[in-house]
Chain A
């Protein structure tokens, strides 16, 4: 694909100015790394603060008295009782319980919900919303009009509070309107790195000024998609299309925690989302395969697609995400395994270039999460 056909985020010119190496990602020309390099960008995000352009992701506003109830019909998550000013993780399921996309949902108050969905799925998600709940609420895609920045790392709060002191009081998964440089932004205290930090929805025309202002702070470095991937992998967070897809259910993806209690089989508002019966049946009787953390016991990175075998050489699964974890200074991976082999510390082997690499089933996250819970 030539770069002419790729979409550009409002920060595209800034990425080029900063010397980024650009790659096609979900139809956008995106920075995979800056001159600092993936390793140092990753470590900087864990030690100081990293600024990520995630404007390729889809932002969608739902509004109307029926919006929360309508969205609940598409996700296994409690949206009706989501407090104003809070954000929650959710996923769209299909009639077989497979995951169509994962997303963040925030309650803005005044019967308004704010969604952030994956870049590669956003048009499909929009069509899905319109088809199923288009008659129950207003659906407003903000794909062109809003950019999304993530400021992640232990120094993120002291940087952002220089622009808006009120953000320091926010706790993990809180979401609120905030004025940044005179611009109407939405700020959530969340992210995709395992670190404390913020995601900032900013009008597209003000995104570059805000990014430049944040990058001017001594603690902040620009971080590309390469480090974003290694950070989220160390944090044990799923990447849609790799660690889950329309063929995997939340149970298989080890995301039962994300299914709200009230929406479960024994909850007050049990079911009522696509694939509920299939998901409840799996919860009851177990699944044949499940997503687990995997730690290679050698320095060889074990990457997506690598087969996993037991001692006898029988294939028992495969790696869905894998690479090198700069903070661990070791390779890390996630994979789907036959349920008989998912106990922690189970020894198994990945096949890399025809050779066995010893691995162990490991708990996730691989690095401690450092969310600010107040």
Chain B
């Protein structure tokens, strides 16, 4: 398992051996959302960077999950349809959202690394 990368929208990305990239939301994000009751998963299609590919609904509100990089979604986590609480219980594991093939394979490495993301969280907490 390669190291995780992150976005400022509190999504994590992990490059897989087959060239795809797995996307989910971070522990910080699931904690902020509260109990997740529904996940609208993306279609198996190309999305531009920043497009709202998926939506996560907590008891409190709906939040968009944005495409972290331009690419084609090739798999979604069907388990979330029946068990959306996996997003809360195991956000970095069983609670993943989708896998995509990035248009630019090198772009993932440009995103925030763990240290940079941790600093972002700390800055949010201090704000």
Could you tell me which A residues sit within 8 Å of B by CB distance? 32-33, 37-40, 42, 226, 230, 299-301, 303, 323-324, 326, 331, 353
Which of these binds chain A: B17-25, B52-60, B96-104?
B52-60
Q: Is B37 an interface residue (CB 8 A)?
A: yes
Q: State whether B57 touches A326 (Cβ < 8 A).
A: no
Give the complex CA separation of A105 and B58 in angstroms. 35
Q: Is B117 an interface residue (CB 8 A)?
A: no
Give the complex CA separation of A326 and B85 in angstroms. 12
The contact of B35 among A32, A39, A300, by CB within 8 Å, is A39
The contact of B59 among A226, A299, A353, by CB within 8 Å, is A226
The contact of B38 among A38, A230, A299, A326, by CB within 8 Å, is A299
Q: State whether A38 touches B40 (Cβ < 8 A).
A: no
Q: State whether B35 touches A37 (Cβ < 8 A).
A: yes
Which residues of B sit under 8 angstroms from A230, Cβ to Cβ? Answer: 59
Which residues of A sit under 8 angstroms from B57, Cβ to Cβ? Answer: 300-301, 324
- Take A38-B34, A38-B35, A39-B35 as given contacts and tell me if A323 and B40 are in contact as well, using a CB distance cutoff of 8 Å: no
Give the complex CA separation of A353 and B58 in angstroms. 16
Q: State whether B35 touches A301 (Cβ < 8 A).
A: no
Give the complex CA separation of A331 and B59 in angstroms. 9
Q: Is B62 an interface residue (CB 8 A)?
A: yes
Which one of A40, A42, A226, A299 has the greatest number of beta carbons of chain B within 10 Å?
A299
The A-contacting residues of B in range 5-60, CB under 8 angstroms, are 34-35, 37-38, 40, 55, 57-60
Which residues of B sit under 8 angstroms from A301, Cβ to Cβ? Answer: 37-38, 57, 62
Which residues of A sit under 8 angstroms from B62, Cβ to Cβ? Answer: 301, 303, 353
Which residues of B sit under 8 angstroms from A300, Cβ to Cβ? Answer: 38, 40, 57
Q: State whether A299 touches B55 (Cβ < 8 A).
A: no
Q: State whether B59 touches A326 (Cβ < 8 A).
A: yes
Contact-residue size bin, chain B (C-beta under 8 Å from the other chain): 10 to 19
Interface of A (DSSP majority class): mixed
Give the complex CA separation of A42 and B60 in angstroms. 13
Which residues of A sit under 8 angstroms from B58, Cβ to Cβ? Answer: 38
Which residues of A sit under 8 angstroms from B55, Cβ to Cβ? Answer: 353
* Further 9 A-B residue pairs, CB within 8 A, beyond A40-B35, A301-B62: A226-B59, A299-B84, A300-B40, A300-B57, A303-B61, A303-B62, A323-B59, A323-B60, A324-B37
A21 to chain B, nearest CB (A): 8
Which residues of B sit under 8 angstroms from A303, Cβ to Cβ? Answer: 61-62
Closest to B61 in A: A303
- Take A226-B60, A230-B59, A324-B57 as given contacts and tell me if A37 and B34 are in contact as well, using a CB distance cutoff of 8 Å: yes
A301 to chain B, nearest CB (A): 5
Give the complex CA separation of A326 and B60 in angstroms. 12
Closest to B52 in A: A353
Which residues of A sit under 8 angstroms from B38, Cβ to Cβ? Answer: 299-301, 324, 331
Give the complex CA separation of A303 and B60 in angstroms. 10
A193 to chain B, nearest CB (A): 15
The contact of B60 among A38, A40, A299, by CB within 8 Å, is A38
Q: State whether A226 touches B40 (Cβ < 8 A).
A: no
Q: State whether A39 touches B59 (Cβ < 8 A).
A: yes
Show 17 residue pairs from A and B whose CB-CB distance is below 8 angstroms, ordered by the A residue.
A37-B34, A38-B34, A38-B58, A38-B59, A39-B34, A39-B37, A40-B35, A299-B84, A300-B40, A301-B37, A301-B62, A303-B61, A323-B60, A326-B35, A326-B59, A353-B40, A353-B62
Which residues of A sit under 8 angstroms from B81, Cβ to Cβ? Answer: 299
Which residues of B sit under 8 angstroms from A33, Cβ to Cβ? Answer: 34
